[in-house]
Structure formats: structure tokens, C-alpha cells
Structure 1
């Protein structure tokens, strides 16, 4: 009986190149004619044999039903357990067959979303990307700390991600220890396991600022409205000035620290494109960028992020146009699922719902000053 998912270990840089090429072509096809895969119960064996001691690998979660070439279960290496057979894909591995990409950091547990579980795939995307792009990663109870000393004021790049249940005292203590040692001007955490709301409530009672992050998804393909023709694909540098304007407006309360924070928020953005395929989209009025969005493609899952419109140019359909173009590009890339995060207490989640997105879960972000 074929497993629900198959797995493939890969260097992060090789996965980013595969996203450009559309397929994974490791050295083995030229030598043996197949791509090495594993079942979830077997993946530790190639990890130990090929990547001993490594904790920075990406684990591709593959839907066997999306593979165009045959998979044959055959013997592996002589030192493998007697009688064990490994799945070998006789052909390239399409990136559109990869329903999730998760960090492989043994002995930490690995959660493998089922191909049809939109909520699990969304949660996997939003907990995987911060780890894979991080400059440094450290273990904490129930999760990891991600660190980027070059952009220390970015909470997304310098926080703790908890994917296994822990209590509020553990969260606070770990954040103080890591943040203090790293010199963070803040303490920031993401509570990413299902059912984390009681811990979020306790952190709020301890004085943390807490926000629900609603996970939403829809199938790729065009939304009911939106003039995608007005949207341009641009080099990311062309969006920097627009982003800086937006963040200055939203973060004016920071006072003397405002410009350093804006510089960190703009400067961090190129890190995403090192691990997933990023496309920046804009709408202009005249020569001025007045709206932008970003599409991030990671195998068969795409994420829409940073859909922004200048306040003086709202009500003109720019957001619909950006979303329409992003969904077109996701479909063209072979993605069957498009995901996003929306603040649980703000209007955008309702705007997305009217355009076909459904809530598939929640996570909780919390932060406070150090």
C-alpha cells in the first residue's frame, strides 16, 4: 500500500534552484536513473547516511498522486535493515508535487501535512519559512528561536516559534533567555500549535501584546473580480520606497527608533527569495507605486503577503488587481493552494473571505518590549 506522502531530503540552495527549474534533479538520476525518496518511517536512514549531523536540511513532503513517473520500491544500501525497500522515482520530481517543505532538525518532531489538509499546509508554510531564512536557529522547549542580528528590530526575524504545546511560563522564560542573550530590544513569540489560545490569553494577562493570526486559504485560479492587466512584476528594489512610506505611517509612534526600524523591515525582505520563489507586484499611478503585493511560491503551496494600497489611492480596485495577478501566477507555477495570514481583529480577513478565502486555522503572535 502506497504511503499518503513520500519524503525527499534536500539542501536548501538546491530546493531554491529546483523552484526556478520546476523540477528536482539531484545527482542520482544521471547515475542511477531515479530520485531517492523515503517513507516517513525511513527518512532518518538517508539522513544519517548522506547528511550525518546536519540540522539545516529541507524535507520535501511529496504527494505520490502528483508524480507523473513510476515509483518503485527497491532495496537501498547494503547497511540498511534487511528487507527494507525504498521508493525510487524514475523521472524528475516536479516541484508541483511538493505539498509542503519543512525544516529537518533531528531529533525534533516533524509534522507532515496531508496533501488535502489546507490548514496543516498553511501552518507548515508559515512556521517553515522563518526557520529556513534565519541567520541563526536555536532550540527552545517546544520549538526554535530564529535570529537575524542584521535586522534585529524585525520581530518576524527575531522571535521564538513554538510548534508543540508549552505553558505561558515556559514561553516567557525562554523568550527572556534568548532575547537577553541576543540583545533583542523586544521579546516576540509565535504560538503555532492548534489550540494555543489559552496560553495566548495568559500571556496577555502577563502584559504581552497578543494578536490572533487567522490562517486562510483558497484554491489557485482567478478571484471573482480584479483587473490583473494593471499589475506590473518588478524587481524588489522598486517597492522599497513604497514599503518605507507605509511603515513610517504605521510605526510613527516609535519616535527616534523609527528610521532604524524601517531600515530593518525593508532590508530583511530579500531573505525570503533565498528559500522560496518570490514575485513582487505593484500598481502605479503615473510613475508612482501606490499599491503592492508579494507572492511566495514553495512547491505546490503559494502565499500572498503584503497587499498594501496607499491610503490616498484606496477604493480604486488596486487590491483586487494585485490579488488577481498573484492567483494567476500561483496557478501558472503549478500551485493548487494559496494561503495567507490575516489579523483576527481587522477588516482584511473579511475582504479576503469575499474573494474565496476560507479560515483554516489560527496562530497567535505575542510581543512586548524587553
Structure 2
């Protein structure tokens, strides 16, 4: 597949995501067409142990590449599958993220034949007007956040043992290295319980809202909207402000109503 120009706004977002992934990683390993991030402290975490394939034509941000585009075509699906088996050897999963729609679609048949599931995500950019006088969202410390994460993971994965729940909760601390600004935010019920939570990251003028979650018992009360409007007000001044949504799930429609518009599609392949 030949290299194609990546629109500047999308290039900034993908560079932000790749930089965030590399800064929080325990190790970074070069692979054909991209890199792998690894974290031996959390070997079961899909997000912390995965391959990331760049769009053809996007500069490689690694110091060894000097910010240049590496020559040659994008790797074939078989090369990426072999790299996943080699780099993630010893992990119980294989996770490959392809940050290019055309390339991800081209890989899909080979990954399906190799036993991978396939998800498509939307990069959505805020095109609205930042809200005025939103309801405030509390800044959460790790000590405040960890019990909430444990409860949320028990709710999401009711069959998971406590070791898995603990690993999934504690890995959030790794995000603190990912950007100049990393905030864990939440809104509360009247009794003080955290009802909805999300992360806000900002680095070099780009902001991302991530990990938006409302506990089942708190849904339908406007907490997610209150949280999002607070984060959008705080992120004002960054350009772009973006988030990533599952293309097959309903939250993307909620984000549209808040002023986010789709910019690009990316692909994620997982085998467990």
C-alpha cells in the first residue's frame, strides 16, 4: 500500500496518541510499520501490551527515526501477525491497533483467519462551542479513584477474579506519565458517591477525553453530560479536543449531541 498524505489535524491527533502510549509504556519495541508498547507490571492489560501500526506516510516520532517517514510500503498483514506473536510472546493475548482505515480494512480478512476479533473506532473531534458555567467536576486522586475502578471492573467483568480486577484498576497510574496534563475527574451523587468519571489529557495543545464511564446504578440522571461539559470547559484553548468512540455502540451518538464530529476510523484486532 502506497503512502498517502495524512490531514494535518488527524496527524496531530495520532501523534498525540502515539506519544502518550510511548511515554506511559514500560518498554517500546519497533515493529514493521509501527511500534509495540509493553508493560511487564501489567502483562494482562490489552492497552498496555499491544502493537500500534501507523498510517502510511505519517512520520515516525521515535528518536531513532528522527521524525522521518521510513521508506517502503506498509507491512503486509502476515508481517504484522508474525510481529504480534514475537513481541507479545508470553502474554495471554494478541492486540494490534491500526491507525489507518484503509490499511485496517485490508488487514481484516487475514486477522479474522488468524482468530482475531475486529473492532472499528471513531476519532471524534469537538466542533461545538465550549459550555459556559458548567457543573464542576471534582479532581480525583488515585486513592479516591481506585475503589471506584475496582467496583466498575467488578460490574463490567463479574466473572473476573480479584487479581485481574486489581491489575485493571491499578494500571491507571501508568497514565500519569503520558502527557503534561493528566487529570482524573468525576461528578458525584448528593450522597458524595462518584457517579461518573473520565480522564482528561492535554499535551502540546491537543486534548483528549478518555475512559468516560457511568456506573449502572447512576445512569439516566445526566451525570455523563455534566461531566463532559465540565471537561470541555476545562479543555477549551486546546485545538483539537478529541475522543475515541466505538463505531458500533451508542455513545458515539451521545458525543455527537455534545458537538463532536467523526474525523477518522481506526481498527483494533484482538485475540485471547
1:142-153 alignment runs, 5 A limit: 142-153=33-44
For structure 2, list consecutive stretches of 5 or more residues without a partner in the other structure.
57-73
TM score, norm. by length of structure 2? 0.84
The SS at the match of 1:269 is: helix
Shift of 1:131: 1.4
Q: 1:116-154 CA deviation, whole Å, 9 max, x = no partner?
A: x33222222222211121111111111111110001111
Q: Which has the higher contact order (CA 8 A, sep 6+)?
A: 2
Shift of 1:234: 2.1
Q: Is 1:176 the equivalent of 2:85?
A: yes
CA contact (8 A) 1:342 1:349 kept: yes
* 1:304 counterpart (175, 184, 209): 209
Partner of 2:95: 188
Q: Is 1:123 the equivalent of 2:14?
A: yes
Partner of 1:280: 184
Per the alignment, do residues 112 and 169 of structure 1 end up closer, same or farther by CA in structure 2, a change over 3 Å counting? Answer: closer
Partner of 1:249: 155
CA contact (8 A) 2:50 2:95 kept: yes
1:17-56 alignment runs, 5 A limit: none
1:39-188 alignment runs, 5 A limit: 117-163=8-54, 164=56, 165-180=74-89, 183-188=90-95
Shift of 1:287: 2.4
Q: 1:179-231 CA deviation, whole Å, 9 max, x = no partner?
A: 11xx211111111134121213431233101111111111475259xx73252
Q: Is 1:358 the equivalent of 2:267?
A: no
Partner of 2:64: none
Distance 1:112 1:219 in 2: 23
The CA RMSD measured in Å over matched residues stands at: 2.2
Q: Which has the larger radius of gyration?
A: 1
Which aligned segments of 4 or more residues in structure 1 are displaced greater than 3 angstroms?
A: 111-114
CA contact (8 A) 1:301 1:335 kept: yes
Shift of 1:314: 1.0
Distance 2:12 2:194 in 1: 32
Q: 1:15-68 CA deviation, whole Å, 9 max, x = no partner?
A: xxxxxxxxxxxxxxxxxxxxxxxxxxxxxxxxxxxxxxxxxxxxxxxxxxxxxx
The SS at the match of 1:245 is: helix
Distance 2:166 2:235 in 1: 29
